[in-house]
């Protein structure tokens, strides 16, 4: 491939894309591993840890490019990429991580965590990038030179974007499925047969890989979310005919959430006995991506989710406090739609109030919006405000 070849630029975009998406969990580890350090040490820990990780990853990827020239290894690698892609779409593990990024940790411990995590977690990245490079070391070096600095210096931004717009992870998983399909049919053991007898697989295999990953990932994610939701449903709706006695207000700090607060206040004022309404305020933070829990301890993850939850709840709390309302606050981590619906059932709420769109405005196309998911899973009326 040459610089003037369209295939070169397509492969380059694939390398950059998989590097960014698959480095999302690495970015989370980088940010959280240095989180408990003083600001000055945070920058040094990220710089040293990331720099060493970059060198290690480049060496591993060049080795992987050479290894993938051997028969059958690409078939194995394609299967592994498909498994990794599906895992991207599953919720965060609730297991207690054994990472070193605990409060009061040292810079050396943070660097060690970053290095260890990148060594273990970069396997998916190394295989995907090596496959996308299609044997070209030049293409590989250019792609890594562009994408790795972006990951290193924009780790916090990437983490925020992936949390705010989960569709990025879905697109990334589909891209991995596409690369896996290309990788499988280019294995030396099958390439000659495919070229001679099934040339259509050059187009069909990547497309099937992408679609299969998204479909299987979504099915497994929904099953996991349903299991989590059923575990929370320890209460049941009762006496619904008595009218609105308990309301669950779901907010995420967005403009639509602010309108939902105003709508709730309007509804409450119209009731015969507004003071008798039991009001519950909830924010649900999406799970962190990938294998973060294997390297970052549960306390650090909980603090991270709590801080983001507090920030999302702050506008609604300020409005309700100014109006003299009394309410209970709930903070959860998981899939927002199913978690909100499950909490409403647990609390025996009579009504859920929320905005039609939150911070993750563009997620509806592939993942389904939070509002849509809540409506699908809730067993009580859901009032949506625009």
Structural domains of the chain, ranges and CATH numbers in brackets: 6-228 (no CATH), 235-385 (3.40.50.620)
Residue 42 tokens, joined: 């945070």
Q: Using the CB atoms, write b or e for 333-351: b if 16+ within 10 Å.
A: bbbbbbbbbbbbbbbbbbb
Average pLDDT over residues 95-101: 45
How confident is the model at residue 202, as a pLDDT? 86
- Give the per-residue pLDDT at 352: 92
% of the chain surpassing 70 pLDDT: 73
Could you report the per-residue pLDDT of 104-154, keeping only the tens digit for each?
Answer: 457 777 777 777 766 666 666 677 777 777 777 777 777 777 666 666 666
Give the span between the Cα atoms of 159 and 136, in whole angstroms. 30
CB 283 within 8 A of CB 300: no
Gap between the Cα atoms of 339 and 370, Å rounded: 10
Q: What pLDDT, on the 0 to 100 scale, is given for residue 148?
A: 66
Q: Are 295 and 117 in contact (CB under 8 A)?
A: yes
- Among all chains, which residue has been given the structure tokens 């309007």? 266
pLDDT at 173 over 60: yes
Choose among 286, 292, 304, 371: nearest CA to 87: 292
The pLDDT tens digits of the residues spanning 73-89 come to: 888 878 887 887 787 77
pLDDT at 358: 55
Contact 2, 134 (CB under 8 A): no
SS3 238: coil
Region 158-187: mean pLDDT is 77
Higher pLDDT, 296 or 241: 296
d(CA 10, CA 14): 6
Do 22 and 174 meet the contact criterion of CB atoms below 8 Å apart?
Answer: no
Lowest mean pLDDT among 63-67, 199-203, 231-235: 231-235
Q: Is the pLDDT of residue 376 over 80?
A: yes
- b/e sequence 22-31, b meaning 16+ C-beta within 10 Å: bbbbbbbbbb
Higher pLDDT, 130 or 27: 130
CA separation for the pair 152, 31 (Å, rounded): 10
Would you place residue 317 in the very low, low, confident or very high pLDDT band (cuts 50, 70, 90)?
A: very high
**pLDDT value at position 124?**
64
Average pLDDT over all residues of the chain: 76
352 against 124, higher pLDDT: 352
What is the percent of the chain where pLDDT is above 90? 16
What is the model's pLDDT at position 241? 34
Taking the alpha carbons at both ends of the chain, their separation in whole angstroms is: 50
333 phi/psi in degrees, rounded to 5: -125, 130
Are 290 and 88 spatial neighbours (Cβ–Cβ below 8 Å)? Answer: yes
361 pLDDT above the threshold of 50 = no
Please work out, in degrees rounded to the nearest 5, the angle formed at the alpha carbon of residue 361 by the alpha carbons of 262 and 255: 25
């Amino acid at each position: 491939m040459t610089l003037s070849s369209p295939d070169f630029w397509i492969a380059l975009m694939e390398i950059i894309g998989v590097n960014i998406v698959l480095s999302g969990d690495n970015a989370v580890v980088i940010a959280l591993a240095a989180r408990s350090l003083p600001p000055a040490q945070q920058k040094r820990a990220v710089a040293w840890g990331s720099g060493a990780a970059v060198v290690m990853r480049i060496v591993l990827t060049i080795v992987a490019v050479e290894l993938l020239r051997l028969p059958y290894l690409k078939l194995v690698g394609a299967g592994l990429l498909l498994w990794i892609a599906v895992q991207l779409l599953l919720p965060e593990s609730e297991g207690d991580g054994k990472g070193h990024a605990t409060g009061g940790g040292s810079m050396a411990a943070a660097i060690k965590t970053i290095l260890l995590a990148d060594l273990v977690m970069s396997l998916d990245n190394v295989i995907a990038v090596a496959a996308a490079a299609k044997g070209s070391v030049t293409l590989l070096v250019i792609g890594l030179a562009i994408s790795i600095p972006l990951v290193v210096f924009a780790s916090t931004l990437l983490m925020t974007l992936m949390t705010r717009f989960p569709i990025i992870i879905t697109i990334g998983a589909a891209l991995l499925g596409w690369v896996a399909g290309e990788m499988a049919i280019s294995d030396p053991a099958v390439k000659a047969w495919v070229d001679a007898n099934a040339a259509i697989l050059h187009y069909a295999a990547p497309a099937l890989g992408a679609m299969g990953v998204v479909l299987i990932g979504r099915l497994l994610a929904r099953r996991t979310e349903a299991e989590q939701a059923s575990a929370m449903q320890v209460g049941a709706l009762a006496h619904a005919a008595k009218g609105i006695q308990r309301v669950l207000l779901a907010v995420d700090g967005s403009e639509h959430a602010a309108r939902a607060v105003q709508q709730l206040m309007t509804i409450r004022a119209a009731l015969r006995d507004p003071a008798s309404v039991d009001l519950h305020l909830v924010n649900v933070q999406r799970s962190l991506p990938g294998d973060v829990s294997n390297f970052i301890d549960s306390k650090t993850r909980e603090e991270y989710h709590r801080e983001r939850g507090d920030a999302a709840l702050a506008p609604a709390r300020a409005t309700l406090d100014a109006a003299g309302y009394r309410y209970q606050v709930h903070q959860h981590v998981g899939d927002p739609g199913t978690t909100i619906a499950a909490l409403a059932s647990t609390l025996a709420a009579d009504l859920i109030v929320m905005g039609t769109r939150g911070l993750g405005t563009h997620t509806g196309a592939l993942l389904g919006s939070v509002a849509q998911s809540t409506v699908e899973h809730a067993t009580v009326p859901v009032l949506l405000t625009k």
